[in-house]
Amino acid sequence: MSWPHYILLSIVWALVSSIALPAQQKPSNSPVPQAPGVDFSSPPPIYGHEDLGSLSLSTSNILPATPMAGEKDEYPEFTRELLQVRWRFGDPIDLYVIKPRGTAKVPAILYLYTYPSETDRFKDNDYCKRVTAGGYAAIGFVSALTGQRYHDRPMREWFVSQLPESLTESVHDVQMVLRYLADRGDIDMAHIGIFGQGSGATIAILAAAVEPQIRAVDALQPWGDWPTWLAKSSLVPESERPNYLTPKFLASVAPLDPVLWLGRVQTKKVRLQMVLDDIITPAAVVQSIKAAAPSSDEVLLYDTKRQQYTLERGGRVFDWIKDQVRPPAQHSESARAGDTRNAQNEGAH
């Protein structure tokens, strides 16, 4: 085929194609259809600057977005709110605020459990009754790269492989949650405690070292003494362990070791509960953390997990932290209630 014939055939084919093209497929200058309720014309939220080189927010300027309200459940003993809070891109946090019924401003305890964990416990009504018993708010969320916060990452990146990020962002989250609670107006910010378990206990210790608003810390089986923990913890896959024992990785986590920070916690109301038969936090780590604890800290050692569970089941595990943040008025009421019960018991005998 000669070039003139080829060009003429191409022009004819283009004309036929344009006629056959359905109307809805033709290029259009009309706006792209948008999902209902989403304003794509507005700029994305600006969260400010977060300094991941510091545990304290004093060197950051984080600008949180307006919290998004989720469901709210009301029961005779408590109310439970689910909110989504956001202060960094791609990391919305499901935050549970669980309050006793019939109270105004109440003391609050933040609950931060270990990696891996989910928020399911905060939806459990029996759990909510236990943590709010006696007139306390319970504030629950999961740490960075945990549960609903783990997404859009290659599988090789997880809590331990990104340990400096996981710990630092979570300590920042604790401080940002406290700022949110202060803005609510229904939490007694003069009486705040934090209960942590495993990695959550580590985060609780680090947060209390930089946040003076935390009045008491109850740390159950904290991770720490990173060279030993990374070498011996059963949570670390053997195939990855050599990566975490390099001088570079150990240097990156060294400034975030609770062994270094226990003496800097800004409250004297600290309890460390540690079990000696735990394979995730080996006994050698337990002894290192115990040795680093100031004499003012209360240290409880249990030989086995069963022993610890037997002594603290039925919600008794939360009694200590509640007592530490109890307002003076509640202390008086509790004492009067105890005197009344004693008098009744004596009369019965």
* pLDDT (tens digit per residue) in 94-133: 999 999 998 789 999 999 999 999 999 999 999 999 999 9
Q: Is 281 helix (H, G, I), strand (E, B) or coil?
A: coil
Domain 48-327 indexed as CATH 3.40.50.1820: yes
What are the distances in angstroms from CA 33 to CA 19, 43, 44, 204, 243?
A: 25, 18, 19, 46, 48
Q: Hey, what long-range contacts does 334-342 have (CB within 8 A, 24 or more apart)?
A: 334/134
C-beta separation of 196 from 222 below 8 A: yes
Rounded CA gap, 283 and 288, in Å? 9
- CA geometry: angle at 155 spanning 149 and 156, to 5°? 115
According to DSSP, residue 323 is labeled H
Q: 174-208: per-residue pLDDT in tens? A: 999 999 999 999 999 999 999 999 999 999 999 99
According to DSSP, residue 312 is labeled H
According to DSSP, residue 169 is labeled H
- CA geometry: angle at 243 spanning 239 and 249, to 5°? 155
Contacting residues for 328 by C-beta, under 8 A, at least 6 apart: none
pTM for this predicted structure: 0.83
183's tokens: 């803005």
Residue 274's H or E segment, with its range, is strand 270-275
C-beta separation of 63 from 48 below 8 A: yes
Q: Where are the alpha helices (DSSP H) in 116-162?
A: 125-132
Q: Which amino acid is at 183?
A: D
Rounded CA gap, 127 and 119, in Å? 12
161's tokens: 């492989």
C-beta separation of 122 from 129 below 8 A: no
95's tokens: 């935050």
CA neighbours within 13 Å on the CB side: how many for 261? Answer: 28
Radius of gyration of the chain (CA): 27
Q: Where are the alpha helices (DSSP H) in the chain?
A: 3-20, 125-132, 163-184, 199-210, 226-232, 241-244, 247-253, 258-261, 283-292, 305-312, 319-325, 328-348
- CA geometry: angle at 337 spanning 314 and 299, to 5°? 45
Q: Each residue's pLDDT tens digit in the chain (349 positions)?
A: 444 443 344 443 444 333 333 333 333 333 333 333 434 444 556 899 999 999 999 999 999 999 999 999 999 999 999 999 999 999 999 999 999 998 789 999 999 999 999 999 999 999 999 999 999 999 999 999 999 999 999 999 999 999 999 999 999 999 999 999 999 999 999 999 999 999 999 999 999 999 999 999 999 999 999 999 999 999 999 999 999 999 999 999 999 999 999 999 999 899 999 999 999 999 999 999 999 999 999 999 999 989 988 888 878 999 999 999 999 876 545 444 444 434 344 343 3
Residue 25: how many other CB atoms lie within 10 Å: 7
Longest Cα pair distance anywhere in the chain, in angstroms? 118
The residue count of the chain comes to 349
What are the boundaries of each domain within the chain? 48-327
